[in-house]
Amino acid sequence: MFNQLVKAIALYGAEVWAPYLLKCVRMPKLMESIYKFCCDKLNLTLFRHILVVHRKFQLSVIMDELGRYPLAIDIMYGGISSQTEII
């Protein structure tokens, strides 16, 4: 249900603003910079409420427990694939 309702709205127009995300992501601290992105904050807040865990609980454990990936990965994929279609 999350994919159909929330993810579709959160990723609306991601092909346009994905280059901004790619510019902000730094490789040495890739996961830390991805989790600070606004869509993933929404994602993690919802998952924290589902699992009823403290807000300082380790983020990778939350995502692993639910079998999810950060939304930023879908954003980057959409941005890169749309740019390759243009070229």
pLDDT per position in the chain (87 positions), as tens? 777 777 777 777 777 777 776 676 666 666 666 666 667 777 788 888 888 998 888 877 888 888 888 777 777 777 777 667 666
Beta-carbon contacts of 87 under 8 Å, excluding residues fewer than 6 positions away, are none
pLDDT at residue 86 in the model: 64
pLDDT at residue 8 in the model: 76
Task: Give CA–CA dist 74/26, Å, rounded.
Answer: 17
pLDDT at residue 40 in the model: 75
Contact 34, 60 (CB under 8 A): no
Give the pair of three-digit tokens for residue 10.
């959160």
Record the pTM. 0.59
Question: Domain-by-domain residue ranges, the chain?
Answer: 14-82
